[in-house]
Amino acid sequence: MMKDYPLISIITLNWNQTDITCQFLESTKNLQYKNYEILVCDMGSEIDPTERIESGGYPNTKVLRSEKNLGFTGGNNWGMRNAAGDYFFIVNNDTEVTPDLLNILVETFENDAAAGVVCPKILFYHTPGVIQYTGFTEINVFTGRNGSIGWGEQDRGQHDQLKETFYAHGAAMLVSKKVVEKVGMFAEKFFIYYEEMDWSARIRRAGFKIIVQPRATILHKESVTMGKESAVKVYYHTRNRILYMRRNSNGFQFTCFTLFFIFFSVPKSVFKYTRGRQFEHLKSFFRGAFWNLTTSKSSPV
């Protein structure tokens, strides 16, 4: 039983997707948890969504309008700086919440003083019986890759045990304000992709747990913004995979990763994108890799 109802700041980003964002906001009308605010952080959309959202009858909702796209990292950091909550629920606008979601996530914090982040089980919106996330495996220090536990499986309760995980999922994560005060926010250098992995690694190094609470569920439409395999996505995945390893591995591990990347990832990508005549994707792959040769791994946050 929950002792009290601390204020939760729900932070979601919007970029030229007002219809999708309003669908998310409609789903929040069914939340059983009542002590919350919603901050919609608009990332310089071509059409200002403020009037439509603030006249939509969405309780406790405010639009923060940026004139430029700050990315997933900068946008959510901006939201957290403007938030009043004891907890920050960072959530994609292409999700739809379930009524008891926040109640269960907050209860998990109350039951474990070491909890820093709690994530729900994430199911695919269009096939809600199929799992997207019930935790992440650890990133391989030699390949820079990892996996999502349960991905693509029919949900038969096989992953319904409460557990710690290596990384939170950026699509839906409830973060304690005390974590932000001790660890800081997202490293804005990532912009988008791998940012929650980097943040999670820093959070765990600070002594906090990252927990998956499968009793809480959320539905994710996935990749509405960037597409499944856009050239932009290739650029940021490549760039930030290397950046993550630069920031979170030791010298020996990074040397092994570099050799793997040069002798396996590069030939594989060249073959894949050349065969598919995806030359813009190939260009983005090399742009992402070479970005790391000219940019510091450090971050203002």
- Per residue in 65-84, pLDDT (tens digit) is 999 999 999 999 999 999 99
pLDDT per residue as tens digits for the range 19-69: 999 999 999 999 999 899 999 999 999 999 999 999 999 999 999 999 999
Domain ranges of the chain: 8-220, 231-294
Q: Which of 261, 230, 227 is nearest to 244 (CA)?
A: 261
Q: How confident is the model at residue 224 (pLDDT cuts 50, 70, 90)?
A: very low
| Interhelix angle 231-248/279-294, nearest 10 degrees | 30
Place of tokens 């019986």: 129
User: Residue 298's pLDDT is what?
Assistant: 76
Q: What integer is the mean pLDDT of 272-280?
A: 96
Beta bridge partners of 89: 10, 174
- The percent helix, strand, coil of the chain (3-state, each to 5) is 40, 20, 40
Question: In this model, does residue 225 exceed pLDDT 70?
Answer: no
Which CATH number does the domain 8-220 belong to among 3.90.550.60, 3.40.605.10, 3.40.309.10, 3.40.1170.10? Answer: 3.90.550.60
Gap between the terminal Cα atoms of the chain: 36
Q: How confident is the model at residue 297 (pLDDT cuts 50, 70, 90)?
A: confident
pTM, 2 dp: 0.93
Q: Which of 152, 10, 21 is nearest to 87 (CA)?
A: 10
User: Residue 267's pLDDT is what?
Assistant: 97
User: Residue 4's pLDDT is what?
Assistant: 80
CA dihedral 125, 105, 226, 261 (to 10 degrees): -120
Question: In this model, does residue 2 exceed pLDDT 90?
Answer: no
- Dig out the tokens for 55 from the structure: 């006249």
Q: What integer is the mean pLDDT of 182-193?
A: 96
Give me Rg for the CA atoms of the chain.
19
User: Residue 167's pLDDT is what?
Assistant: 98
Q: How confident is the model at residue 222 (pLDDT cuts 50, 70, 90)?
A: confident
